[in-house]
Amino acid sequence: MSFWKKLFGGGGVEDSAPAGDKSLGEESYKGHLIKAIEMRAGSEYQLAGTIEKDIGGEVKSYKFIRADRMGSKDDLVALALNKGRQIIDEQGDGIYR
């Protein structure tokens, strides 16, 4: 893609696709599905994940991104799943509103 398209937002469908949605690990917790998502920040991984739950036949999703960075995928997965559990414990189904 050319510099100008990147600068002014031109491009096709592939440009609008969410970046970094590769799941590195997941866990069920209190009826929710927590996924650790790969998000690169240079040579490091940035803490990111999604929390999903089926509510009334519709899958609701909440994406979280934190400033924490680490060098290991294993550390990323452990911290993302832990952060997901913490968000669920603090906010419950309120995260989907």
Q: Let me know if residue 12 belongs to a domain.
A: no
**If pLDDT is split at 50, 70 and 90, which confidence band does 4 have?**
low
15-54 pLDDT, tens digit each: 333 454 799 999 999 999 999 999 999 999 999 999 999 9
CATH of the domain at 61: 3.30.160
Look at the chain and report how many structural domains it folds into: 1
Position 45 in a domain: yes
What is the percent of the chain where pLDDT is above 70?
79
Eight-state DSSP code of residue 95 = G
Asked, for residue 9, whether it belongs to a domain, the answer is no
60 touches 50 (CB < 8 A): no
Cα distances (Å, whole numbers) of residue 78 to 11, 45, 58: 36, 12, 28
Range of the domain at 86: 22-96
Q: Is residue 44 situated within a structural domain?
A: yes
Q: What pTM value is reported for the model?
A: 0.77
Q: Do 26 and 11 meet the contact criterion of CB atoms below 8 Å apart?
A: no
Q: How confident is the model at residue 6 (pLDDT cuts 50, 70, 90)?
A: low
Residue 82 domain flag: yes
User: Looking at the domain assignment, is residue 7 inside a domain?
Assistant: no
